Amino acid sequence: MKQIIHELQDMTYLSWAKARNSSGTAGSFLKTYDEGPDGKTYYKLSNYDAWRGIIGHECVNEIIVDRLLTLLGIEHLSYQLIHAKVLIDQKEAETWLCASRDFKQRGESKIALDAYYQAERLAGESPMDFCIRNGWESAIHEMLVVDYLILNRDRHGANMEVLRNPRQKTVRLAPLFDHGLSLLSRCESTEAMLREDLMADKPVQCFVGSRSAWENLKLIPPDCHPNLHPLKESDGEFVLDGLSDALDRQWLDRIWEMIRKRWQAYENLRDQG
């Protein structure tokens, strides 16, 4: 699958009436899907304002994080970035949207981790302890590292999912997905982006941790840090390739600077033991 489709696609047939707000976050993040012979394809837009239109670049973030996770060697949902013409509130708009396929395997159903936790937890058991008991410790540790690197502020309990197959009696944690509200998505202007403190520990949502992405790293025992492929400065070429049509190069370079600086801070913490 071609990861970025630069040619403008007419996708005005999609109905965003099925959209919903992203839980626990400001702004509207419109979503929909369609069904084809190969199953469902899910679509979403960047931050949408009824007056100003599509004002965010969260869909670009999804591609950046998709590629970052590929480099690190972490299982994740893959995204496609599409240059598209869409119809919202009877108005046409040219934008970049994200597409993804269903990650469930045949026979599986999904449930939000917070709902599964409420149903299956032991008395007094924290979300982190619950995940460890279910054998998901290494996946959670990977997630905490990633969410620090990208300052993901939207890892609420429904942005983590459990996949169950009753016939095979299997339960597994879904691969990582939904990383749009991260990096520099808080910034609404170039001036704000350039002023942004790339290392600031701003409040985040984390169902298994705290409001601090930095403090959440410390939940990983010293001898349990995930075995990730180290990031190199030259990896920026792969991460940002082909994205300058969708987001100004100045923003892209600043995003990569943020990832690199945070990776170095994480390495220092990890190596201190």
Q: State the helix-helix crossing angle for 249-272 and 137-149, rounded to 10 degrees.
A: 130
- In degrees rounded to 5, what are phi and psi of residue 2? -70, 125
Alpha-carbon separation of residue 46 from 49, 56, 86, 98 (angstroms)? 10, 5, 12, 8
Query: 3-state SS string over 161-176?
Result: EEEEECCCCEEEECCE
Domain boundary (74, 101, 128) is at: 101
Domain match, 165 and 96 both: no
Note down the domain range covering 247: 109-272
Domain match, 246 and 143 both: yes
Domain match, 79 and 200 both: no
The pLDDT value given to residue 17: 58
Sequence-ordered list of residues with C-beta below 8 angstroms from that of 40, at least 6 positions apart, any chain:
33, 34, 101, 102
If phi over 0 gives left and psi between -120 and 50 gives alpha, with beta otherwise, what is residue 242?
left
Domain match, 256 and 162 both: yes
Local confidence pLDDT in tens for the 273 residues of the chain? 799 999 999 999 999 854 444 443 344 689 999 988 888 999 999 998 888 888 999 999 999 999 999 999 999 999 999 999 999 988 999 999 999 998 898 899 999 999 999 999 999 999 999 999 999 999 999 999 999 999 999 999 999 999 999 999 999 999 999 999 999 999 999 999 999 999 999 999 999 999 999 999 999 999 999 999 999 999 999 999 999 999 999 999 999 999 999 999 999 999 997
3-state class of 155 per DSSP?
strand
Domain match, 83 and 122 both: no
The pLDDT value given to residue 109: 95
Quote the CA–CA distance of 206 and 147 in Å, as a whole number.
9
Quote the CA–CA distance of 8 and 12 in Å, as a whole number.
12
145 residue type, one letter? V
The pLDDT value given to residue 23: 42
Q: How many residues does the chain have?
A: 273
Domain boundary (101, 134, 164) is at: 101
For residue 164, list its beta bridge partners. 109, 171
Q: How many domains does one find in the chain? A: 2
* C-beta separation of 36 from 42 below 8 A: no
Q: Which of 261, 155, 164 is nearest to 206 (CA)?
A: 155
Domain match, 169 and 263 both: yes
Domain match, 114 and 47 both: no
Domain boundary (101, 135, 163) is at: 101
167 residue type, one letter? R
Place of tokens 């429904």: 158
CATH code of residue 188: 1.10.1070.20
